[in-house]
């Protein structure tokens, strides 16, 4: 990735190869041709993480080739990262060069930025953070106009906020999202916006309710809630749940119930296998689910969750792994067929492929 040819023709060649691969994988299900949503070839990535490699008295931003953590690749600029990250990198480097309090035993730096222009920098240390570090970090945060999080073993010090606020336009409405430090967020903001608008469009206006599994910070939940009567959403990560709850308030959305359960636990609850105190105040019987939305991890949905989603007339599925997507569709293909498909190029210059399908009951 670091030595890629970033020319438009090289990007188009790679994108066409991904499109052909997805077409081949979905051909067995007679899927329609996928819509393709391209990325900008450069400055698309809103997150970046670097190890710091010491050589003499100098520390360098560094990355490593897969499987090799001993041979650093020094990074002076990072073309795939956002323009803001590239602007902040040399300024941060100059700051630790001139401050022992900032540089002492600093071993990793993480950047989190947004399309809306906010930034948060995480500095990771092999030592406790003291008053001298606090004073230097507060001065740096003011100079760079960013929030800073300092991490040392078992401790975290926050200067400013421990999240950034992203703003994304879906069908003419701007939704704001708190994105916490250390929690998962979509790395390619522009392509994420395409994903949200695609899901919003293919779902359409529905008179019934939506069940969402793996909802994260509410990335899809917020815009999709405007297309249905009400939403029951689940997420297991505590930081993501807290961010999602704040996002509901910030966006003044009141038709979403959020519960901290895994997809497997919710399956057990809906099947009457187990009762959960976290569902005590939620009347599952009041929901008339017509659509289930899933955005699972790379492993895809387990067999029990596949059987759960089979109950619904519509399954809206966003996948970060086309191989497990195909396995899940195969499990569902006797009752559902693909009526819409899409390719979202979240990660140019890699083999990674994000895709989406709408499955409807036959």
Same domain for 33 and 81:
no
pLDDT tens sequence across 326-337: 999 999 999 999
pLDDT at 69 over 90: no
Same domain for 345 and 203:
yes
Lowest mean pLDDT among 114-128, 193-207, 266-280: 266-280
Provide the CA 227 distance to its chain's centre, in angstroms.
22
Do the beta carbons of residue 280 and residue 303 sit within 8 Å?
no
Same domain for 229 and 142:
no
Taking the CA atoms of 141, 118, 212 and 328 in sequence, report the sign of the dihedral they define: negative
End-of-domain residue from the set 114, 129, 164:
164
pLDDT tens sequence across 171-195: 999 999 999 998 889 999 999 999 9
Same domain for 235 and 129:
no
Q: What is the pLDDT of residue 266?
A: 85
Same domain for 319 and 234:
yes
Same domain for 353 and 256:
yes
75, part of any domain: yes
Structural domain of 253 = 8-41+188-361
pLDDT tens sequence across 339-358: 999 999 999 999 999 999 99
Question: Is beta strand 147-152 parallel, antiparallel or unpaired with respect to 231-234?
Answer: unpaired
Q: What is the pLDDT of residue 1?
A: 45
Tally Cβ neighbours within 10 Å of residue 86: 18
Residue partners of 226: CB distance under 8 A and separation at least 6:
173, 200, 253
357, part of any domain: yes
Q: What is the pLDDT of residue 160?
A: 98
297, part of any domain: yes
pLDDT at 143 over 60: yes
Q: What is the pLDDT of residue 102?
A: 97
Q: What is the pLDDT of residue 36?
A: 98
Burial 180-208 (b: 16+ CB within 10 A, else e): bbebebbbbbbbbbbbbbbbbebbeeeee
Same domain for 229 and 98:
no
Helices 8-26 and 322-332 pack at an angle, to 10 degrees, of 20
pLDDT at 272 over 60: yes
pLDDT band at 4 (very low <50, low <70, confident <90, very high): low
| Known catalytic membership, residue 288 | no
Q: What is the CATH classification number for the domain harbouring 193?
A: 3.40.50.150
Domain count, the chain: 2
Compute the residue count for the chain.
362
Lowest mean pLDDT among 28-42, 126-140, 278-292: 278-292
354, part of any domain: yes
Lowest mean pLDDT among 146-160, 202-216, 257-271, 299-313: 257-271
306, part of any domain: yes
Can you tell me the mean pLDDT for 12-25?
96
274, part of any domain: yes
pLDDT band at 3 (very low <50, low <70, confident <90, very high): very low
Same domain for 138 and 197:
no
**Residue of 58, 94, 320, 323 marked catalytic:** 320
Q: What is the pLDDT of residue 269?
A: 84
Same domain for 23 and 63:
no
Same domain for 192 and 295:
yes
Same domain for 52 and 36:
no
C-alpha dihedral (215, 341, 200, 188), degrees to nearest 10:
60
| Known catalytic membership, residue 354 | yes
The runs of H, that is alpha helices, within 164-262 are 189-203, 221-225, 238-250
pLDDT band at 40 (very low <50, low <70, confident <90, very high): very high
1, part of any domain: no
Can you tell me the mean pLDDT for 240-266?
92
Q: What is the CATH classification number for the domain harbouring 109?
A: 2.40.50.1070
Q: What is the pLDDT of residue 277?
A: 84
End-of-domain residue from the set 101, 132, 164:
164
Same domain for 209 and 107:
no
178, part of any domain: no
């Amino acid at each position: 990735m670091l030595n890629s040819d970033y020319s438009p023709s090289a990007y188009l060649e790679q994108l066409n190869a991904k499109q052909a691969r997805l077409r081949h994988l979905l051909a067995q299900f007679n899927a329609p041709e996928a819509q393709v949503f391209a990325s900008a070839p450069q400055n698309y990535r809103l997150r970046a993480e670097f190890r710091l490699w010491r050589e003499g008295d100098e520390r360098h931003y560094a990355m490593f080739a897969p499987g090799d953590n001993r041979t650093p690749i020094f990074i002076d600029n990072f073309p795939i990262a956002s323009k803001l990250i590239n602007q902040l990198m040399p300024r941060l480097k100059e700051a630790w060069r001139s401050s022992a309090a900032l540089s002492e035993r600093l071993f990793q730096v993480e950047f989190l930025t947004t399309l809306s222009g906010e930034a948060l920098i995480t500095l990771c240390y092999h030592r406790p953070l003291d008053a001298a570090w606090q004073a230097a970090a507060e001065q740096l945060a003011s100079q760079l106009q960013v929030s800073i999080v300092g991490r040392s073993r078992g401790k975290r010090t926050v200067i400013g906020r421990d999240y950034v606020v992203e703003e994304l336009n879906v069908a003419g409405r701007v939704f704001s999202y708190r994105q916490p430090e250390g929690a998962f967020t979509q790395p390619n903001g522009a392509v994420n916006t395409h994903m949200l608008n695609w899901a919003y469009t293919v779902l359409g206006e529905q008179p019934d309710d939506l069940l969402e599994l793996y909802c994260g910070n509410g990335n899809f939940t917020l815009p999709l809630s405007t297309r249905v009567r009400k939403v029951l959403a689940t997420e297991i990560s505590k930081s993501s749940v807290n961010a999602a709850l704040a996002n509901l308030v910030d966006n003044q959305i009141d038709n979403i119930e959020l519960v901290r359960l895994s997809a497997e636990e919710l399956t057990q609850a809906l099947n009457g296998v187990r009762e959960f105190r976290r569902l005590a105040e939620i009347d599952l019987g009041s929901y008339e689910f017509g659509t289930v939305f899933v955005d699972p991890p790379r492993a895809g949905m387990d067999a029990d969750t596949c059987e759960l989603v089979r109950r619904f007339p519509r399954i809206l599925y966003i996948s970060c792994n086309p191989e497990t997507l195909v396995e899940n569709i195969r499990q569902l293909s006797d009752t559902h067929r693909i009526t819409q498909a899409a390719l979202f190029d979240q990660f140019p210059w890699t083999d990674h492929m994000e895709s989406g399908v709408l499955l409807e009951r036959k």
